[in-house]
Amino acid sequence: MKKYLLIAFLLVVSIGFSQNIRFEGVVKDSTGLGLEMANVMAINNDTKAMDAYAITNENGKFILNLKASSSYQIKASYIGFQSYEKQVDTKNTNMVFDIEMSQGVQLKDVEVVYEMPVSISGDTIIYNSDSFTNGTEKKLEDVLKKLPGVEVNKDGEIQVEGKTVQKIMVEGKDFFDGDTKIATKNIPADALDKIQVLRNYNEVSNLKGLENNEESIAINIKLKEGKKNFWFGDLTAGVGVGHEEDRYLINPKLFYYSPKYSINVIGNLNNIGELPLTMRDYFKFTGGFKNMMRKGGSSFNVSSNDLGILGLRNDQAANINTKFGAANFSYNPSKAWTLSGFGIFLGNKTDVQTNSVNDLPEGASVNAVEEKEDISRQKSDLGIFKLSSSYVPSAKLHFDYDALLKFSNQKENQSVFSTELGDIYTNKNQKPFSINQNLNYYYTLNDKNVFAFESQHLYQQEDPFYNANLQNLAFNLGSDYNTMQVRDDISQQRFVKTNKIDVKFDYYYMLTPKSNVNVTVGNTYSYQNFDSHIFQVLDNQSVNDLDSEDSNNDVNYAFNDVFLGLHYKFIKGKFTFNPGFSVHNYSTNDVQLGTSNKQSFNRFLPDFFAQYQIKKSESLTYNFSLSNNFTDIVKLSEGFVFSNYNSLFSGNRNLENSLSQVHSLRYFKYNMFNFENIFANITYTKQVDAIKNKALLTSANQVTSAVNIDSNFADETFSGAANYGRSFARYYKASAGLSLNWSKFNNIRVLPTTEENIQTTESFSQNYNVRFSTNFKKYPNLSLQYAFSINDNSSSVFYTDNPSVELEYFFLEAFSFVTEYSFYHNRNKEKTIDTEYDFLSSSLTYQKKDSKVEWKLSGTNLLNTKALNSNSFNQLGGTNSFSSYIVQPRYIVLSMKYNL
């Protein structure tokens, strides 16, 4: 396999570099001064195509790779200068060619007709979509992968400069705000004109330059003229054959954009494992709501009480049936007022089968390992709705309101067969509901004074129900539990309700054009109710209510944080500094077991931001923050909660907050001269008095409670990542990257044969990858990637090799062939685990030029791989688990797409 990949790589490189010469020079003005960011391109006189382009560096230098012994028109442009154009015949050797430009207005008759593939305007990078496509692209994701400095992972997340893109807009209008996957998987590639990457993005113009937005990136899609003021989209329908059942796919997409309003409608029905949105995406879907308290110094997050019913990706489930529908709109009643919103429905039926080998903690059992088979059937219906209103009558005033509604109905039936615990049957169901509302007001009084008021309210209720039918119950649930039953049928009903309000007022005063003072007054208030009840179903189907305090929770919890913050931001040359602090008064009160437990204290929390702007597109940024971390009601409730059939948890009302310090350093460089993209970051986190687990481990079971670990045993994490990418000779894109993560965690562990002790576990994970891809217009294109990972923990070391190759070829002006192959090799250091598996998928598409109909024959898992493998580490038990997931079998689908 490796030999064939090397041959393919050398073949592609030889095609690209054969008979090319280096054509370089300097673009300068009449005084000889080099012009930075000037555009230079070479138009082939025979083919009329643009063979190469470049953007000059800070000295005005450019480099083009051109064909030898060919005739070109060399064109150059620069703002404030007349366009330059001259015919040049290349030789068989490298050439030096300087360009002198004249100041003046650009004349229409010598305008540069060809558009530059990439250009920069302020903080915006603009990509011309057609310059990077070869005919095989079907959706936005396919185009983004080919852009310099842009990466798209398998989950549809977009990364630019190592930062995750937070928002995608089309023609300046939000496209399902809060998630980028729907856009990358559904916006058609042939509708794209320009892709604008908006760095340092802030949607509130009043605050631009006042806040630090270096981590904020958005993308705006500009459509081709033929796609504006017209309905466009497509309808795909397909049928296929697979193991034991037929396959189907129905996927309509409809879009309309005009200056006044826009509408997007997307649907998907399939059983081929195509997931427009996963349950993981659903739970992290923010709706675009920002963390308004990020500078407050406190961390109080409402934890989820879900039961872990997660629909997995198609390569991690034996079978998936999906129903998906989504609609997005934007409407402008006036120039100042915008109404927008969306609705999303997702329905999944998922079969998951897992076989695993789990190490047991030494001393917890007479056996060293547990072998387990886990079969689950999940059904979920999820809904998300958002409505937004934004009123911006002038540059001085901005008022907006948002409401995000999320609800779901989820069920799971699970059968577990364990060599340690016997056979186990569980049922889970839950119907969580939440509504999140934002109300924000921003006002610029004058050049010196800016006011901002932000408020957010969260109402959330959760009602998870859990039932486990066990061969043996390993836990002591009190004297009223009936132990004289053939099997142990135990259930727990929970209900958690949360009301949380955040209010913040900011005042910005401009001391000078390059400095300002920010005063913040804020308040976070949360009130929660938690009720739970454990009961037993006897062999005769009667119910035995467990009345002990351990088996029930009835808790109310209030949290309040009032704070005052002060920050000073100033620019000195190439440096930006933003030191500050916040002063807090905290008060908490939990009521349970017939008593009230109140706490109140004050805390001073500093933070610091610094940035060194080395060049226009090169910077070094440092962040420091000290924050108080608070738990919510779940870990304070002292009655038992079933985490799983083999895990029982009880809270601790005497928990105190933990204190964490975070240091981060980020380097970024984007060089338009050679399209070099470099980013690196390191982060160190230390958490003192952390809330950790105290666990009694018996066999594969554990009874856990929450405690504060002594400050001498701090949790520490050090992580780092780096990536080097470059696009060169227009046809090639290469990158190399790594990520490292070292962590040390402390927990209290109790074994049947030992006394209580602090268990310190360390883990060190390393991930390395290299990528190389081509982007020819007429030749086949290859994308080669190799990833290698090492997971080193306290008990073992695991290695994973993952080479992959993707081939794209558009030929005969109508056919498009795409195939992807991935190989995985998992093993541990002791060689007791050594497995290999691979995946192959292919598609052949036929569509004549200007035809509205496209035919596609596609095959997934063509090698009929049965399962994929993974390993994980349990920091509490200090043990490893190696799992094998049964995946969907091979299937082939024939589909037809009709383009509107």
DSSP, res 187: S
Per cent of the chain over pLDDT 90 is 54
The span from the CA of 433 to the CA of 464, in Å, is 11
How confident is the model over 834-866, as pLDDT tens digits?
899 999 999 999 999 889 999 999 999 999 998
Per cent of the chain over pLDDT 70 is 94
**Does the pLDDT at position 570 exceed 80?**
yes
**Does the pLDDT at position 392 exceed 50?**
yes
Task: Tell me the mean pLDDT in the region 170-179.
Answer: 87
Strands (E), 513-657: 515-537, 543-545, 552-572, 575-592, 595-615, 618-630, 640-644, 647-650
Indicate the pLDDT class of residue 111, thresholds 50, 70 and 90: very low
In Å, how far from its chain's centre is CA 317? 21
Classified as helix, coil or strand, 30 is coil
- Contact by Cβ (8 Å): 360, 416: no
Output the pLDDT for position 338: 95
Measured between its terminal Cα atoms, the distance across the chain in Å is 42
How confident is the model over 300-354, as pLDDT tens digits?
878 777 766 665 555 567 888 999 999 999 999 999 999 999 999 999 999 888 9
Comparing CA positions, the residue from 107, 26, 21, 27 lying closest to residue 68 is 21
- 196-201 long-range contacts (CB < 8 A, ≥24 apart) are 196/124, 196/125, 196/126, 196/127, 196/220, 196/221, 196/222, 197/124, 197/125, 197/126, 197/127, 197/150, 197/160, 198/123, 198/124, 199/123, 199/124, 199/125, 199/160, 199/161, 200/123, 201/123, 201/166, 201/167
The span from the CA of 668 to the CA of 650, in Å, is 46
The span from the CA of 822 to the CA of 769, in Å, is 14
How confident is the model over 478-532, as pLDDT tens digits?
888 998 999 999 999 999 999 999 999 999 999 999 999 999 999 999 999 999 9
How confident is the model over 652-676, as pLDDT tens digits?
999 999 999 999 999 988 887 778 8
Task: Tell me the mean pLDDT in the region 730-747.
Answer: 90
The span from the CA of 21 to the CA of 24, in Å, is 10
Indicate the pLDDT class of residue 550, thresholds 50, 70 and 90: confident
Indicate the pLDDT class of residue 8, thresholds 50, 70 and 90: low
**Does the pLDDT at position 109 exceed 50?**
no
Task: Tell me the mean pLDDT in the region 438-465.
Answer: 95
Classified as helix, coil or strand, 544 is strand
Task: Tell me the mean pLDDT in the region 189-196.
Answer: 92
Output the pLDDT for position 476: 85
DSSP, res 156: S
The span from the CA of 682 to the CA of 548, in Å, is 49
Indicate the pLDDT class of residue 558, thresholds 50, 70 and 90: very high
| Mean pLDDT computed over every residue of the chain | 88
Task: Tell me the mean pLDDT in the region 243-251.
Answer: 85
